[in-house]
Amino acid sequence: MSFILVVEDNPANVALISEVLEDEGHDFVVARNGAEGLAYAFDLMPDMILMDVSLPLISGLDATSILKGEAKTRDIPIMALTAHAMAGDKDECLRAGCDEYETKPITPGRVMNKVKLLIDNRDPAFVEQLERTRRHNGMAVRYGDDDALHDLVEELREELAQARTQLEAKVSEVSSFESHLQEEQRVQQDARHALEAQVAQLSEEKAELQQEVESQFAELQSARDQARKAATLLAKRSSEGSGAPEEALAALKRAHAAELQALADEHGRALARAGSAGGSAGFDALMRRVEELERRDQSSTSNAAVLQAELRRARQTASAAQRALRTLQTSLRSAVDASFNDALNANVEAHVK
């Protein structure tokens, strides 16, 4: 007589397997899902396990892999029970660690033959260790102490319920975290879109500002060309007018000299005709005329000097205007560059904030 763990969630299958095991005289306990089956296997240490493949919570194949991965339970024989009859299904069960495979609906005789074969072929050292463990734990397992087994099962159910509650709390916590993470991602995405819009706006403002600077620079260049032309014209006019006073003065002197000579000749002839008495009066008139012509000559010379002084002042004014124009050009270029840099820095700082 052996103690067998049945892990099956289908009531009809549980009833059929229970009847077969009772007819053969075996003791057994039933787990309704994979998690409960693992708990029973670790605590009750059965002689073998009949494991349904499709189970809630933890599948039969996953539970088998866990049991075969633990030194305490890896030598417990496990027979897979499945409704899948394809060749690949059997291979999958064997890869998970199952020692035998049986399709549903089960054939009682064939199943019991496989159960007997698996139990009889266990490692004797494992069987001895299993018996010592059972005696040490005081486990009757239907060998006279059903109440102890019932209490153990109830304790396992309570532990399973607590584990399920903790699992649900963790799942809720993870879901809350995922929701928070999604909200954070949405906020970051909105912020990124807003930042991209600000960058685009800043680029447009920069392009407009650069266009305005280029326009101002073109105007400055035009003003510079006009100033250059004005300076050239002024220099040309100054060059053309620089000899005008001297030439006018020379022409005036020549005219005065010719007029004086003509007057002298005329008075000389009159003096000769008038005689000595009239000659004295004529000479006095002639001298007055000469003095008048000299005053006119001095006046012309003074006017020429005034013209030359005005010409020098005009040249000085033109030079000062050229210097002022260059200074204005330099100041305007510096102001434009400073205005562009200040505007660009202000937009960048606003964008960064």
Across the chain, mean pLDDT equals 75
> Rounded to two decimals, what is the model's pTM?
0.42
Comparing 312 with 44, the larger pLDDT belongs to 44
Sheet holding 48-52, edge to edge: 27-31, 3-7, 48-52, 78-82, 100-103
Most confident of 249-253, 281-285, 344-348: 344-348
Of 61 and 264, more confident: 61
pLDDT above 90 (res 258)? no
- C-alpha–C-alpha distance, residues 333 and 79, integer Å: 93
pLDDT at residue 261, as a whole number: 66
Mapped onto helix, strand or coil, the DSSP state of residue 50 is: strand
Q: Looking at the predicted structure, is the pLDDT value of residue 302 above 90?
A: no
3-state secondary structure of 87: helix
Q: Is 49 exposed, middle or buried (0-12, 13-18, 19+ CB in 10 A)?
A: buried
The confidence score (pLDDT) of residue 140 equals: 44
Intra-chain end-to-end CA distance of the chain, in Å: 81
The vertex-81 CA angle with 130 and 76, nearest 5°, equals: 15
Q: Which residues contact 28 (CB under 8 A, 6 or more apart)?
A: 3, 4, 5, 6, 17, 18, 21
pLDDT beyond 70 at 213: no
Mean pLDDT of 236-254: 54
- List the beta strands (DSSP E) in the chain: 3-7, 27-31, 48-52, 78-82, 100-103
- Give backbone dihedrals phi and psi of 113, rounded to 5 degrees, phi first: -60, -40
Q: How far apart are CA 156 and CA 35, in angstroms?
A: 10
**Measured over all CA atoms, what is the biggest interatomic distance in the chain, rounded to whole angstroms?**
194
| More confidently predicted of 172 and 103 | 103
Tell me the mean pLDDT in the region 128-152. 61
In a 3-state reduction of DSSP, which class is residue 211? helix
Distance CA 99, CA 142 (A): 26
